[in-house]
Every structure is written in C-alpha cells, then in structure tokens.
C-alpha cells in the first residue's frame, strides 16, 4: 500500500503529559484506506481503520467527520489545513461563530422559550414554515444578548433591515422584560469565552456538518443502486429509511448531478394515463417549473381536493418535472421543499 497523506497530532493529557497520534491515507489498486494510530511515547498503542473502499468522496467525508471528532477531543495537528477545505473562515465568520458559541452557552432559556412560542404562533397565522421566520440560532442569540433597540438587533448575524422592520418590535417586546449584564456593541464576547472550549465546540460543529454530508453521500449511493435494480418509491423508502419526500429530493439532486432516474420515473408513472401526464407537461410549458401548486391547479383544475390527499399528485408533478427539466435545461427552476 502506498501512503499518500500522513499527519501527526498531539493532545495534552494531564498536567504536563502529551498524547500523540498519526492520521494516514493509503491507496492500493484503486482501494482507499484511512486510518488512525495512537502512540504512547515511541510505542504504538492502538490502530483504527476508519475507511476501506473505492470511493474517494466517501473516504474524504469519513476523514473529515472522524478528524473533527478527534479535534473536538483536543487533538491538534502539526500541519494546519487538515480538513482540505477550499475556503478559510473570514474574520467576520469567526466573529459570528463566537457569538453563536456564547449564545449557546449563556442564553436566557425563559426568553428563548418565549421567542419560540412567538415563532410558532406567527408561523401558524401566516402559514409559513417556522424556520423561515427565524432560525433557532438567531433566537438563541436574541435570548443571550437581549437587544433593546432595533439598531442593537441589527448587530446580530442574521438580522437585516427586512427582519428587523418586520419582526423587531415583537422580539424587542420580549427581550425588554429581562435584565442583561452586558451592553452593545458585542466586542466584549471575545474576552468572555474560553478559547480552548470555543475551539472544541467549533470542531463539534464541523463533526455534525460532516456527519450530515456522509449520511447524504451514503443515501445517494443506496438510492442509485436501488433505482438501477428497478425498485419503486416505496421500496426505496424502506431501503433507505427516509420518507418518500426525502427520497424524491435526493433523486432530484442526482438528476442535477448527471445521474439518470428514468427507471424510477417510468415505473412510478406507468399507472398514470398519457392524458394526465400531457396535462402536467403542458402546465409546465405554460407557467414554468418553479412552483408546484400553480402547475397542480393548471393540470387538474381548481379547486382540486382528492379524497386520498395531494401527496401522490405532488410526487407525479416532481417526477414529470425531472423529465421536463432534462429537456428544458435553460428553464431550470428552483425545487421548493414546501409544495408552494
């Protein structure tokens, strides 16, 4: 086996002690191997094989995820840039991460719960997904830094003019009831957090990010294999362990990346009449493929309230949209997750 990458890492143990480890990537006849080796002084104390297989992309995902776990435990590399990412964090991004870290450690839980209650009520009345109004991250920041004015509110990452004018009054009415120990601007945050704890937290965020990427990569592989074997939507749902909606989202991704899902589309549409398929296709030609609900009503008439619900019909729309976009790449629209 040829070693193509190797790095040495160190972690402080106890008062004066240090623990060393070695991370390596090897290749032999198209097969990648990824491993971790622990040392005690000059003696090897353990060897773990993290990955063995033929996919460079999957190996890289495993590498990043497992390395983030180790760095979250306190290991630090002798050679920087071990994640092999294209972009380094800007100073602004670093500042935002520190604000996020502080808010997660020192947020006011009562205020956070009140903000979440506000979001649920607002989302219900406006018929919007809660995350569109405000993310958990933003509500955590508001609960931790307790802005008193719209100007202070706009200093928080994720709050622009639009959100401040739209929801600022509601948020400020909630934060006004709580006492705060610090003021704005938030430059004091850098001195209020423990640097080593922040770094470990940062790598924990990377661990979660790379875990999701790895799960997505493996899901794509499972679905590609299932489609090639001629399995339908329900079989793919059982095989993958995700919902039919998630299966379709990944199928759309695969088509965008150049893979063909035609076997699945043909199978799922085999029971749909040519007339119904033509009506959907014509609707896409007339009004575009960005939004599904107008296409639904154009193809089936309005109002359209089938006894068995709309999910199956939206599936048909999305499957036919894949074919439509294949033939009309210049008109490629945005796939919305919320059937609007």
Sign of CA dihedral 304, 306, 309, 310: negative
Q: d(Cα 49, Cα 39) in Å, to the nearest integer?
A: 15
User: DSSP secondary-structure letter at 88?
Assistant: P
| pLDDT at res. 41 | 56
Question: How deeply is 186 buried, as exposed, middle or buried, from its count of CB atoms within 10 A (0-12, 13-18, 19+)?
Answer: buried
Q: What is the pLDDT of residues 184-202, one digit of tens each?
A: 999 999 999 999 899 889 9
User: DSSP secondary-structure letter at 43?
Assistant: E
pLDDT tier, 177 (very low <50, low <70, confident <90, very high otherwise): confident
CB 13 within 8 A of CB 83: no
Which position has the token pair 């999305």? 318
Q: DSSP labels for 305-325?
A: --TT-SHHHHHHHHHHHHHHH
Q: d(Cα 340, Cα 326) in Å, to the nearest integer?
A: 22
Residue 265, C-beta contacts closer than 8 angstroms, at least 6 positions apart: 319, 320, 322, 323
| Residue 69 to residues 21, 113, 161, Cα–Cα distance (Å) | 14, 30, 38
Nearest partner of 134 among 102, 94, 104, 170, judged by Cα = 170
Q: d(Cα 153, Cα 133) in Å, to the nearest integer?
A: 15
Q: What is the pLDDT of residues 52-102, one digit of tens each?
A: 998 888 898 899 899 989 988 888 888 776 665 544 556 778 899 999 999
């Amino acid at each position: 086996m040829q070693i193509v990458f190797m790095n040495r890492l160190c972690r402080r143990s106890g008062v004066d002690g240090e623990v060393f480890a070695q991370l390596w990537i090897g290749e032999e006849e198209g097969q990648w191997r990824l491993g971790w080796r622990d040392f005690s002084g000059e003696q090897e104390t353990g060897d773990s094989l993290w990955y063995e297989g033929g996919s460079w992309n999957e190996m890289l995902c495993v590498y990043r995820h497992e390395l983030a776990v180790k760095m979250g435990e306190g290991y630090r590399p002798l050679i920087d840039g071990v994640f092999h990412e294209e972009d380094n964090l800007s100073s602004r991004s670093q500042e935002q991460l520190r604000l996020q870290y502080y808010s997660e450690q020192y947020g006011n839980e009562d205020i956070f719960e009140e903000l979440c209650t506000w979001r649920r009520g607002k989302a219900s009345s406006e018929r919007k997904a809660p995350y569109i109004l405000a993310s958990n991250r933003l509500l955590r920041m508001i609960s931790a830094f307790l802005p008193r004015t719209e100007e202070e509110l706009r200093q928080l990452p994720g709050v622009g003019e639009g959100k401040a004018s739209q929801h600022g009054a509601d948020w400020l009415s909630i934060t006004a009831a709580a006492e705060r120990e610090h003021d704005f601007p938030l430059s004091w945050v850098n001195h209020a957090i423990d640097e080593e704890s922040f770094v470990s937290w940062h790598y924990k965020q990377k661990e979660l990010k790379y875990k999701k990427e790895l799960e997505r990569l493996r899901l794509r592989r499972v679905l590609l294999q299932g489609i090639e074997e001629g399995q339908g939507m329900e079989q793919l749902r059982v095989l993958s362990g995700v919902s039919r909606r998630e299966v379709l989202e990944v199928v759309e991704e695969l088509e965008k990346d150049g893979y063909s899902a035609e076997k699945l589309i043909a199978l799922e549409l085999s029971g749909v009449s040519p007339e119904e398929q033509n009506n959907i296709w014509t609707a896409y030609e007339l009004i575009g493929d960005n939004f599904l609900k107008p296409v639904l009503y154009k193809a089936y008439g309005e109002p359209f309230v089938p006894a068995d619900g709309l999910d199956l019909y939206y599936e048909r729309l999305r499957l036919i949209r894949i074919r439509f976009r294949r033939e009309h790449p210049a008109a490629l629209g945005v796939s919305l997750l919320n059937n609007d």
